[in-house]
Each structure stands twice: as structure tokens, then as C-alpha cells.
Structure 1
Amino acid sequence: MKLQEWLEKGGAEGLGWLQLENFPDTGRGVKTLRPLKFNDVVLTIPGSFLWSVDAAFDDSVLGPTIRSVKPSLSVEDILAVFLLFIKSRQEEYEGRGAHIKLLPTSYTMSVFFSDEELEVCSGSSLYHLTQQLKQQIKDDYFHLLNNLFSKHPDLFPLEKFTQNDYMWALCSIWSRGMDFQLPDKQFRCIAPFADMLNHSPDVQLCHIYNPRSDSLQVLAGKDYTIGEQVFINYGPVPNNRLLRLYGFILLNNPYDSYDLVLTTHHGAPLYDQKIALLESAGLQVNATFSLKLSDPLPLDVLRYLRIQRLLSSEISTMNVNRGAKNIVCARNEAEILKALIEAFEGLLAKFGTPLEDLEAKISSNIYKQSDNVWAAAHVSIGEQRILRMALQKTRELLALIICAQCGKVDEDNKRCARCRRVVYCGRDCQKTHYKEHKFVCN
């Protein structure tokens, strides 16, 4: 069966029980015309229909040309060129051309936001990554222009291979691509018709690629009744990534996160010893930690900083301290917690619009649902909530290290026996501080 025929019959290998439909909440998606049980096969896509690097290389016209580019093109660029190449000559590629016609003509990823729309989430990771991504797209396009398009104008007419066309192809790959870890490599592809299925975190992961049969299967991630929309699950994706790579957000996304980057400069004191300790603890020198709603201050953040802030007299302690899983000493712990508080306060101060103002504009409909500014606001709200939770958690931990009255850091500081949420260096400080503390104690 040819790709075009397969697409016209619903992609279900002639069964005809899947149908494209416009849904009010998600836009275009796929509905089932028969009941489905969890793990039923929804559709099977032959490998010859997939858009992949191998498929691009196997094309008798395109393949030799893109293979010859030095340095070699990335997987994304090969797929982007492949899409644009087929799009530019759809009449010659009836099957893949039919799939191209089903793809959106425009996308809503953050790279298409205006400066004013993106400014709503200034200070967020989405804001900074989008700015970097826009520049990266320009750089990568000019690399393709100089090393491929301009050298083969007969294959790549420039009016059909503009930077905007390249952005469209990239967004098609980001929003519709599927990644699989095979025994010998990472495999990325776009699967016709399966790329029309929308994401839901409420279904099980349900798409698999079998290299032996060279086919991709989509299974039912839950039970479905007739007329229901069939979903796939992209995985635990936070809103900052959903909007950047897929063009939408989920309200109250349980997977929202903020990526905290920690690094140790090579000129830091005791650098070699600390790097050895980090590696023995399974931590990288340049590390990114995902702060989440469920865990706003991961233990690994503390472990990393405990090692980073060690004094020479404390190095030997670390050798038996399981990679700083436990507190090294009061001095070290107070230093890292104070540094974290300063860092979190600084990160929150960089957000252009505070969380409360964003929530007010959403509730008063100043930011209308599904507009770009509405989506950007939700990303900013999610990240600010996580950073505030991380800040609160850090302050609570610091309160168990320094005397609540005089701020003294000592191994012998004792917790308040009633609430156990603050410590004191002695009875005098405890008595003095009680007038203030009694309102929150217990």
C-alpha cells in the first residue's frame, strides 16, 4: 500500500476506524470510531513511511547531496531539509507530498512570539532559551545556505528554502517528531498520521518502534469509547518546554520545573579535590538540576554545594560522608543555604512581572485564554511558584542551622522543643526571642 492510500484510509491500514477531527480544546486531533481497550493496537506504521535520516539518505536525488556536506548535518537539519525538499516538489513525491499537505502551515511555538509577547515571561527559562533558540536558528540557516542551498540551487530553489521555511520545518520536527533509544543509536522520526495525535499526561506512554519489523506502533494508552479523541503521551514535559517545542501549555501542569545550573570554576580553591569528590558522588562539574513542584530543592543541589564550599580541613570528612549526603558541618551548611537564598531571591527579582500580577491579568481576562501572552504568563507563573517554594524550603533549612536570635552558627545549637522549626545557641537567646517566636511556635 502506498503512503497516500494509507493516509486517505485513516492510517489504520485500511480499517478506517480512525478519523481526523477538530476538537474545541485541542484543535485538530484523531478520534476513534470504535471502542478501544488499554494496550489495543491503534495503528501500525511501516518503516518505509517514516521520515527519518535513513529515508533522506536513501532518496536517490537528495541523499548523495546531503551526505556530501562537510561538516555533516545534524539529525534535525537533515530532517528539515528532507521536509522542505519534498514540499518543494510535491508532485514528484505523491505519498510524502500527501502527508506534507496535512501538516500545519503555521505554528505557535515561542520562537514566533513578538518581543512584547515574550516579555511577559521575562526572567523565565523560556524567555532566555527562546532568545538563544532564535539566534541558533539564524546561525544554522546560514550554515545551510552557505554549505548546501547556494551550492545546489537546482535542488534547493532559494524562494522555497528561506529562513521562514526552515523555521517551519524545524517546528514540524519539534512538535511531531518521536525519539526512540535503540541498542546502537538514538532514532528520531516523524510518523504520518501518528503525528496528528495530541498529547495528554493522563494516558500511558504508548508509542513504540520495533527495529526488527521496522515499524512504529501506537497503542491505546487507556480505554476509549466511540467518538473519543485518542491521545499519546509525550512524557513528563513542563510547560516551558511544551510551549517552546510544541506550541501549547497545560493548565496546572504537574511536571512544571525550573532548571538550576551549578558550576565550579577551575580556579576555585581545592578544585581538583572537589572535582574528584563530585565525580565520586555521581555529580557533574557543570550540572543542571530540575527543581519541581514535588521536589523544589533536590538533595543533589545540597550535595553539590556542600562539596563546592568545603574548606581544606573538611575534605577528609567528605571521604566518609557518602558524597555530602548528610550535613558536613554547621559552617558549611549555613554558607550554602545563605548562597542559595541569595540566588533564589536574585532569580525571582529578574522576572519582569510578579506572579500575583500575572494571575490577576489572567483572572480579569486581560490575558485571554490561548493567546500567546496567556501561555507565556502561565509558564512564568509555574517557574515563579517553584522558585518561591525552593526559597521557602531553603529558609526553613537555614532556620535549623543558625540561632534565631543572634544568628550564631554552631554545631551545638538546639531546636525549640515545642515546634522544632528554629534553633538557639543558648537559653538567653531563646528567652529573648520568645516574644517574637511565640506567635508562630506550634
Structure 2
Amino acid sequence: MRGPCHTRRTRPDSGLDFCFLRPSLSLSLYYWSIQTRHEISSTQPTELRRQFHHRRFIIPDFHSDTCINRLPNPFSMDILKTSRCIPTPFRPPPLIPHSRLANPLPQPRNFRKCRNMCAASNSDTILKSTDNTSKEEDGYGDLKTWMDKNGLPPCKVMLKERPSHDSNYHSIHYVAASEDLQEGDVAFCVPNALVVTLERVLGNETVAELLTTNKLSELACLALYLMYEKKQCKKSFWYPYIKELDRQRGRGQLAVESPLLWSEAELEYLTGSPTMAEILGRAEGIKREYNELDTVWFMAGSLFQAKAFPFEIFKQAFVAIQSCVVHLQRVSLARRFALVPLGPPLLSYKSNCKAMLTAVDGAVQLIVDRPYKAGEPIVVWCGPQPNSKLLINYGFVDDDNTYDRLVVEASLNTEDPQYQDKRLAAQRNGKLSVQSFQVSVGKEREAVLDMLPYLRLGYVYDRSEMESVLSSQGPICPVSACMERAVLDQLAGYFIKRLDGYPTTLSEDEILLADSNLNPKRRVATQLVRLEKKMLIACLQATVDLMEHLPDDSVSPCPAPYAPTLKWSLSLSLVNL
């Protein structure tokens, strides 16, 4: 007997809603709707409650080993005739050859069998699997085989593996050229039927865009979807892809997880780095995302029981999605974040690479930007991200990253009687009362020169000088040699203080990195702080060079009652990370 939301198709001119839902999910949502109406009506007068009594059903618990008894005849045709289709929050991909989405609604006995089969992984996320089942035992083959069976056109790549540094984890898979490639060759082209986006998850682009403009981010929605799909075990169409994500455990090609999943002891490797504060801020953001899921727990508690999706599980899933999501260009909002099989984390990221995954008609393709020999790993561009973002998002650091940068935050003294005038002068020159200066690798001297006019403004204390500044055009007018030395002294002291915040020196970092047995997490953390120190040292050297060009009489002290503030504060609290 079909439930109220069975898989069906209607002619476009029939005037009927197009209902294409997984039977078990749709029927569960139908039962949930009826039960919710009963529970809400329990606070109403007895006469009204009586109206809903005959429609009360209790849905099978997705996370229980037994199915709860229902009232007699739950499939009454009278009820089905008067019930409308309740759309699922998630829509599976269209039926294609070999798809397992159109399986009949399982009976309670079969459902219990599936529950027993998957009981060992119920607390797992798409990150926690340690299943060592072989391909032959699994019956699904590897990711590439699954894709070939489901419409992947012939391509020029294959999956290879490298050992993991941790014997408790699977080896790392990566995409390599299956034949010699030349620049401009199409390595692979994944059809949209095998790409996960919000448009596909929700089935309606308008709904997807409404959702992403509210409190839940795209990554949270995708993480929640794959968490649900993993609960379906082998019944899920996406099972082979989720199995591959389990294997990777959110690790990049250096076999390192995002520091969002590191222990407190491991995070100490980043002591002194502003990346520590970024990690804490990102962790707090994930916690806020999780708290916003209260609405999901309330509205679909049978599908997403809060106890089955605790915060730690959600965070692991979120970080795993973060490590493999692709930001597609020139597509609609509901398709901009995509999970592409054969994409990251199976592809290696490189900052100086020009190849990108791009959306084409009905697919996502990769055109290589360099020649490859058969067996060589394929690399793609990771976007203009500094190394701190590369580490947090993907678990690696690129020594050749031309987009690497640091931030220096300066602010005018709010206690200065001339604060408002200085704020206006700064705004006129494109600066704010609290201004962040970007220090890009290789352009440290330019960054220092960009900071100086702003800092000089903060040192102005004479009213007549301030009036001269307000009447001038362009950057702040020069100050005396004495004042210039005070400005440079403050800036040099700031860089020295930041360097002193690291527990190791640059030379000690070099010694650590020379150790081939260094822990991979310690290695990437040391790579990051080493590159940060190099930029800070270059800034300090540029500042000292400017001081050496000042006249000798500039050493006399200059008053600076309201000097600007250069921020250097790192939140080192690991509570709730």
C-alpha cells in the first residue's frame, strides 16, 4: 500500500503538484505532521481534540531498535484521500540508472534489520567512520566505480592512495592523471546528478535561497543533509560518496585535519599566532549554527533527534564539509556551494595553480592548467586565501602562497580631545577610526609606508597643527623628525612584541621542520608561524631602515599624550572550542 507521499510524476499540464519524494522520508513527515497537530490540539477544548484523535499516529523512531505500536489501520484510505503531500526538507537526486532511491517502503522488520546493521555507526558522522570493509565485502566498489555506474562520462583521472601517518586511520585517496595530460585538457566532467548543492538538497531553488538568507549557512545545511543521509546507510544514493568522505576524515592531502578538530595540546603549537583567535572565532560560529538547529529538532524531531546529533558530531561534519566544498562561480545562490565527487579533498590545492572546478551546462568540469604525467596528482587553485585560512579550512600551509598576509589593527585614541577631527581627517583619506592594514607577503615595506600617515595623525596634539591637517589635501602632512621617530619607535616595538609572543625563534622553527619524523600537525603549525615571523621580521626591518634615515637630533623625546593604539591581543582561551 502506498503512503500519502509516494514517488510519482504528473504531466506538466495536469495541475497537480509534482511530488517526488523518498517513500520512507515522506511518510514519516506525514505522520509527524499528524502527530504534531494532535499535540498542539491537546491544549484546546475537548471537542476540538476529538477531531484529531482518530488521526493520531506515532511514527517509527529512526534511532530506536523497535518500532512503536500504531493505532489500528494506519493506512486508512479515508485518511489518505483527505491528506495532502507533506514535502520533505531534503529532496534526493532524480532517478537515474542504478539509483536506489525508488526502493519500496520497508516494513518494520526490515527497518529493524537495517538498524541492527548500522547500529555500530549510529554515533558516527561523515567524519568518524573507521569501517575497514573491503570493496568486495561492501558490494559498492570505490567512489570512481559508483560514479561510472551513475553517469560519469569517460575521464582522464584515477584514484590512488598514500599512507596515513596514523595507523588508526585509512590511507589518503587522491585524484591522479590516468594518462599523460596537456594544458587545456578536460580531466573530468561530473554531471550535476552527482553533485550535491542546496538546489538539489531542497529541490526548490527559491526555498534554498530563502533558507540561506536566514540563520543557517549553506555549510550547515549541507552538513545536516549528509548527516541524515549517513543514517540511511546503504539505502542512501550518496552512500559511496559519504563512505569516501568518512575515509578522508576531513583531512587534506597532507593528512592533517583542520585545527578546529585539534586537541588543546595540539592547538598550543599555534601559540603567538593570530590564527589561534581565528580558530576560536570559527568554533564559536559553528556553535551558533548548531544552536539555530533547535527549529529543525522541533519541526522534524523524528528525522533529526537532537540526542543523535550532539554538537561534537555536528562540528565534525561541518568541518568535513568545509574541507571539501567548492565555491562555483557565475551560478545561482543555491548552487554556489557544491560537493563534487573527485573534487576536494581528493584534489590537492595549490596557491599558484590556475585550474578551477567550473560549472558548465549540466556538469562541473576541471580543465588542467599544466601538463601531467600518468600517475601524477592533479592540483587546483584554492582561491586568494592566506595560509591561516588554508590551515583552518583544509589542513595545509603553502610555502609559495603569494596571497599570504597578516593584519595590523590600529585605532585612534578615543580619549583624545581632537578625536572627532582626527576621525574626519582619516575618513577623508579612506581610513576609519579603527583601521585594519593588510600586510601582504613580499610587500611588507609598502604596508609600513601605508600605516605611517595614519599613525602620524594620532600623534598630532597641537590645535594649530590639527587645523593645518584639516585644511590640507591628500595624505596627512609630514611631522617633525622627532615626532617621526616616536611613530617609528612605536611601530618597531609593536613588531618586536608580536615576535616575542611566539615560543620559538625562526631558527628553531627551521630545525623542527628539518626533522622528517615531526608530527604532521606540528609540522603545518610550524610552517604557518614560520611564515608569519618572516613577514613580521620584514616589517621590522623596513621600519628600522626608515629610522636610520632620520637626522641625529630626532632622538630627543617627543610628547605623545594620545598616541594611537596598535592592537596585539590573542584570545588564548580554549574553553568551548
Q: With structure 1 as the length reference, what TM-score do the two structures score?
A: 0.77
Distance 1:314 1:265, change over 3 A: closer
3-state DSSP of counterpart to 2:488:
helix
Q: How many residues align?
A: 400
Aligned match for 1:82, one of 215, 219, 225: 225
Aligned match for 1:136, one of 282, 285, 292: 285
User: 1:118 and 2:263 equivalent?
Assistant: no
Query: Residue 166 of structure 1: CA displacement?
Result: 1.3
For 1:322, the equivalent position in structure 2 comes to 474
3-state DSSP of counterpart to 1:288:
strand
Contact 1:110 1:130 in 2 (8 A): yes
User: 1:209 and 2:359 equivalent?
Assistant: yes
Contact 2:259 2:391 in 1 (8 A): yes
Query: Residue 406 of structure 1: CA displacement?
Result: 6.3
Distance 1:87 1:287, change over 3 A: farther
Cα deviation 1:68-105 (Å, max 9, x = unaligned): 899631222222212212222244431x3322111123
Aligned match for 2:509, one of 358, 372, 396: 358
Deviation larger for 123-132 or 45-54: 45-54
Contact 1:85 1:156 in 2 (8 A): yes
Query: Residue 20 of structure 1: CA displacement?
Result: 0.9
Query: Residue 232 of structure 1: CA displacement?
Result: 0.5
2-structure distance, mates of 1:252, 1:69: 35
Query: Residue 327 of structure 1: CA displacement?
Result: 4.4
Contact 2:144 2:159 in 1 (8 A): no
User: 1:156 and 2:299 equivalent?
Assistant: no
Aligned match for 1:394, one of 523, 543, 553: 543
Q: Aligned AA for 1:105?
A: R
How does 1:124-273 map onto structure 2 within 5 Å?
124-144=273-293, 146-149=294-297, 151-158=299-306, 160-180=308-328, 182=330, 187-195=336-344, 196-210=346-360, 213=361, 215-251=363-399, 253-264=401-412, 266-273=414-421
Contact 1:66 1:78 in 2 (8 A): no
User: 1:338 and 2:489 equivalent?
Assistant: yes
Distance 1:12 1:236, change over 3 A: farther
Aligned match for 1:279, one of 422, 427, 433: 427
Cα deviation 1:4-47 (Å, max 9, x = unaligned): 88853299932143111114799421112222222222223334
Contact 1:238 1:257 in 2 (8 A): yes
Aligned match for 1:290, one of 432, 438, 441: 438
Distance 1:65 1:155, change over 3 A: farther
3-state DSSP of counterpart to 2:382:
coil
For 1:424, the equivalent position in structure 2 comes to none
Contact 1:126 1:379 in 2 (8 A): no
Quote the RMSD (CA, aligned, Å): 3.6
Contact 1:9 1:16 in 2 (8 A): no
Distance 1:251 1:183, change over 3 A: closer
Cα deviation 1:213-243 (Å, max 9, x = unaligned): 3543211021222222211010343332222
For 2:185, the equivalent position in structure 1 comes to 40
1-structure distance, mates of 2:375, 2:330: 35
For 1:301, the equivalent position in structure 2 comes to 451
Contact 1:261 1:287 in 2 (8 A): yes
2-structure distance, mates of 1:11, 1:319: 70
Cα deviation 1:156-184 (Å, max 9, x = unaligned): 13454222321222222321122245488
Distance 1:407 1:267, change over 3 A: closer
Contact 1:178 1:190 in 2 (8 A): yes
For 1:385, the equivalent position in structure 2 comes to 534
Contact 1:10 1:18 in 2 (8 A): no
Q: Aligned AA for 1:85?
A: Y
2-structure distance, mates of 1:183, 1:285: 37
For 1:436, the equivalent position in structure 2 comes to none
3-state DSSP of counterpart to 2:474:
coil
Contact 1:80 1:169 in 2 (8 A): yes
User: 1:99 and 2:241 equivalent?
Assistant: yes
2-structure distance, mates of 1:19, 1:118: 35
3-state DSSP of counterpart to 1:225:
coil
3-state DSSP of counterpart to 1:194:
coil
1-structure distance, mates of 2:475, 2:439: 20
Distance 1:115 1:182, change over 3 A: same
Of structures 1 and 2, the one scoring higher in RCO (CA 8 A, sep 6+) is 1
1-structure distance, mates of 2:230, 2:469: 63
Query: Residue 267 of structure 1: CA displacement?
Result: 4.9
2-structure distance, mates of 1:341, 1:70: 44
Distance 1:190 1:327, change over 3 A: farther
Contact 2:176 2:378 in 1 (8 A): yes
2-structure distance, mates of 1:12, 1:38: 25
Q: Aligned AA for 1:201?
A: S
Gaps of 5+ in 2: 1-95, 100-142, 165-170, 252-256, 559-577
Q: Aligned AA for 1:323?
A: P
3-state DSSP of counterpart to 1:9:
helix
Q: Aligned AA for 1:338?
A: D
How does 1:7-26 map onto structure 2 within 5 Å?
7-9=146-148, 13-23=152-162
Distance 1:39 1:394, change over 3 A: same
Q: Aligned AA for 2:200?
A: A
Distance 1:306 1:68, change over 3 A: same
1-structure distance, mates of 2:312, 2:152: 35
Cα deviation 1:271-316 (Å, max 9, x = unaligned): 4443333333333444333323301241433343344444442454
2-structure distance, mates of 1:141, 1:268: 43
Query: Residue 390 of structure 1: CA displacement?
Result: 0.9
For 1:439, the equivalent position in structure 2 comes to none
Distance 1:69 1:200, change over 3 A: closer
3-state DSSP of counterpart to 2:326:
strand
Query: Residue 358 of structure 1: CA displacement?
Result: 3.0
Q: With structure 2 as the length reference, what TM-score do the two structures score?
A: 0.61
